[in-house]
Structure formats: structure tokens, C-alpha cells
Structure 1
């Protein structure tokens, strides 16, 4: 069956769609993407081999301790994977959030469109995490990333182990203020099939399309509602980036 798609033109439209979802007992997570055509696949599965993935994770572990003084212990693979994801290393984790507004922010903010074509639609995905977990042989619950049931999904990122070829959804461990502010969660991808291409995806996915002509409108609405980069990324570089976006130069200096 085809995944349900709905076009939204405003934050009000998004609120109505989310309200319709929340009438059920399902647990929905959200993800914003700057290009509606992008699949739901993690960064390490976009051109990297399994061997390259293990090279990335293990070299990061070897070299990180001299640069970061709160590294996980050696065998805390979920902790290492979360740290790698946090600092932008390609991993088998895909970011989600409990907040549809935060998902919308990542779909429309100008800082996140660098890899997207100029003419495009953006989108917000809604994921019924419990249904996906149940379909993959896990309990219909969302456990923390370091739960023992997720270990077979995570360890092959570091060691040459057999893959389960499944996907699980986990709560993020709040080791950093950014995780808390962004209300984060992860999908863990042992399978190389994107979530939206899996059998039964129509049962646990919804897709809200933001047409190209409405992207800036939604960005402005989010700004008015206080969903801004410096509120989600509590550091000075985010503050600088946000101020430059809100206040672009108006005069030609030459």
C-alpha cells in the first residue's frame, strides 16, 4: 500500500494533522527533511560499505579521547554511537524528535538545505515507533538506546558481526543539553532498506509535504513561535548562525 501523504501550507495545518494522529494510542515521532524525495536512511548507508563503517567507528574511538574528556568506556557501544552522531560522523542512527515543530524546523531552516536542490519540496515524516518496533520483532515499546535488546543492532557497527537486518526505534540518552532541547530519539538501522521502502511502511509512516512555495512561510511562522536555532543548539555558533539568518545585509557595500 502507498504511504499516506498530506500537503501542509502552515504550522496550523501541521497542528491539525498531528492532532488527528494523537487521537490514537500510537506513539508518534517526527523527522524533518529539506528534500521530500530523500529516503529514510542513515548517513552511513549513503555510499559507505559495512567495512568503512567499522573503520570510521573504531578510528573515532581511538582518536576521540585526546580531544573529548567525557568519552564513554570502551565497550559502551551505544554511548559511542550517540557521541559520533552528535558530532556529525556518519552512523547507522537516524535522528527523530517527539516534537513536530522541531521536525518542521529542520525541514525548512535555510541552514539545512545545502544538499537540497533549489527547486524542491520539503517534508515532515511521522513515525509510529511502537508499530515499527513490533513489526521488527521487538516489544511495542521504545526503550533507551543502551537497552540490551538493541545490542545486536549496534555492535556490528564496531565489529564484524552478523546483521539482524532489522530497524529499531530507541529513546536518546540525554548526555548533552542539545538532546534534551531537541526531544531526540533514534532509529537504529541494521537493515539497509530505508524505512519508507520496508514492507508495511504504510502502517507506521505518514508524510506531510511542504511545497517549495511555502517553505519560507513555515520558517517565518516557526521563528514567530520561538522555534529558533539558538534555542535548540545552546552554543555561540548557533546564536551567530541564527542572527545572520534573521538579519541578512540589506545594502550593497560596493
Structure 2
């Protein structure tokens, strides 16, 4: 399944496309990726086996309590999965946001580009969450990550259980200020087919592509509009990163 790419060169272009989507009276989520060729699949499905996923999740649960004061209860699998995602462990969750500007930020910020800023086309994906859920046999609604209907999607990450073979869209539980600031949501992947390659993907996905020649300018526009790293990540490491990007060494400026 090939999704038609819609070119955008500025925040104004992005706004125009988002307004067009809004006119369809559907519930859209957004995700930014620094490489437009990347498929929509979670990190744990990029080279990890099902057994390795269970090793990761269960060892994290065993070792996290001595390092984190507010761990979930042992059987709160959605809570554990969200905590793991928050701290960068490969999981079956894929991050989305209700904000197209935040998605665009992640697509053009140099900190998230492995190849370097402007080395490849970036993109902002738009996902019709209700339509994807409906196509997967769920109600055409967005429930919280800990909803009982999503349990079969989540438990195989921790136990040797059969996969449901589907993907669900869930609201993030706001256990951390970062989740609130980033207006987060997730897709839960109990299927190893990327959602952009699934049958019918063109009915629930739109792909907005930023040409590599426009990535740097797009980033500058977002910065001018106040979409900055330290506003989305309320911690000192984000503040440090942002200050370093704003104030380069004098010998680099000459």
C-alpha cells in the first residue's frame, strides 16, 4: 500500500493541510519522522524478536523499583509499558500527538535526525485514529491505554501469549508533565506489519512531506513560533540542549 505524499514547505502549508483534514470531521493524530522513508512501526519491532521483547520488559520491571520511586503495580502492564516508553526502552508503543506543530517539531529538529539535519526528506503523518480502530475490530473511539479492550494487545509484551494480530490507538495516561505538554497518544502494535503497509492504510493515513531543502527553514519557523525543546521536555537536559542549539561557539559562527 502506497500512501500519496503531500508536499509541505512551511508552517503555513502544514496549517492549510490540517484545516482541510479538520473539515472532514474526523479525529486526527500526528507523528513527525525525520526520514520520510521510515515505516510506521514501533522500536521493539525493528530487529527484536518476541522473546527479546519479553526479556526487555520483564528485566526492566525487576530492576526499575530501586531506581524509580513511583513504579506501577506488578500487574499494571499498560502502566509499565508507558513507563518503559517514557525512558526510551524499545516497546510496542508508537508515539503520536494531537498537535501537528509538535509532530512537525520532531520531524525537523536536529537532535532526532541520525543522518544530520536536511540529509533526507522529513514528514508528518496524520492518522485517523477512530477509523484505524474500527478497521481493527475495536469501537471507533479512542480509549485510555489501560482500557480492558487493549489488554490482549499489551500482555504478550510480558508473557508468552498469542498476539492479537492487530493495532489499536490509545490515549496516553498523563502520569508525567511531558505527556501533557506533548499532547500524547499511542498506537499499540500486536502486529508486525507497519500500519502504513496494512490493507486500507490510505483510508486512515495522510503523509505530509517536507523536502530536505526546506527542513532547516521549517525548524526555524517552529522555533520562532515558540515550539522549542525546553517547552516540551520540562527538564534540565532539554534546557541544556536547547541553549546549545541557540548559542553556538564563536569559532563556528565566523
Which residue of structure 1 aligns with residue 96 of structure 2? 96
Which residue of structure 2 aligns with residue 50 of structure 1? 50
Which residue of structure 2 aligns with residue 20 of structure 1? 20
Indicate conservation of the 8 Å contact 1:41/1:94, yes or no.
Answer: yes
How far apart are the structure 2 equivalents of 1:67 and 1:115?
33
How far apart are the structure 1 equivalents of 2:135 and 2:57?
28
How far apart are the structure 2 equivalents of 1:165 and 1:117?
36
TM-score by length of 2: 0.97
CA change 1:116–1:156 in 2 (3 A) is farther
Question: How many residues were matched structurally?
Answer: 253
Q: CA deviation at 1:2?
A: 3.7
CA change 1:252–1:232 in 2 (3 A) is closer
How far apart are the structure 2 equivalents of 1:115 and 1:159?
36
User: Where has structure 1 moved over 6 Å in runs of 4 or more?
Assistant: none
Matched, 1:240 2:240: yes
Indicate conservation of the 8 Å contact 1:35/1:116, yes or no.
Answer: no
Matched, 1:188 2:185: no
1:27-66 alignment to 2 at 5 Å? 27-66=27-66
How far apart are the structure 1 equivalents of 2:239 and 2:252?
24
CA change 1:217–1:252 in 2 (3 A) is closer
Q: CA deviation at 1:117?
A: 8.6
Indicate conservation of the 8 Å contact 2:167/2:188, yes or no.
Answer: yes
Which residue of structure 2 aligns with residue 106 of structure 1? 106
Matched, 1:214 2:207: no
Which residue of structure 1 aligns with residue 74 of structure 2? 74
Residues 139-173 of structure 1: per-residue CA shift (max 9 Å, x gap): 00000000000000000000000001100000000
1:147-162 alignment to 2 at 5 Å? 147-162=147-162
1:200-211 alignment to 2 at 5 Å? 200-211=200-211
CA change 1:189–1:198 in 2 (3 A) is same
Q: CA deviation at 1:118?
A: 6.1
TM-score by length of 1: 0.97
Q: CA deviation at 1:252?
A: 5.9
Indicate conservation of the 8 Å contact 2:34/2:113, yes or no.
Answer: yes
Indicate conservation of the 8 Å contact 2:118/2:215, yes or no.
Answer: no
CA change 1:115–1:48 in 2 (3 A) is farther
Identify unmatched segments of 5+ residues in structure 2. Answer: none
How far apart are the structure 2 equivalents of 1:12 and 1:183?
21
Indicate conservation of the 8 Å contact 1:4/1:205, yes or no.
Answer: no
RMSD: 1.3
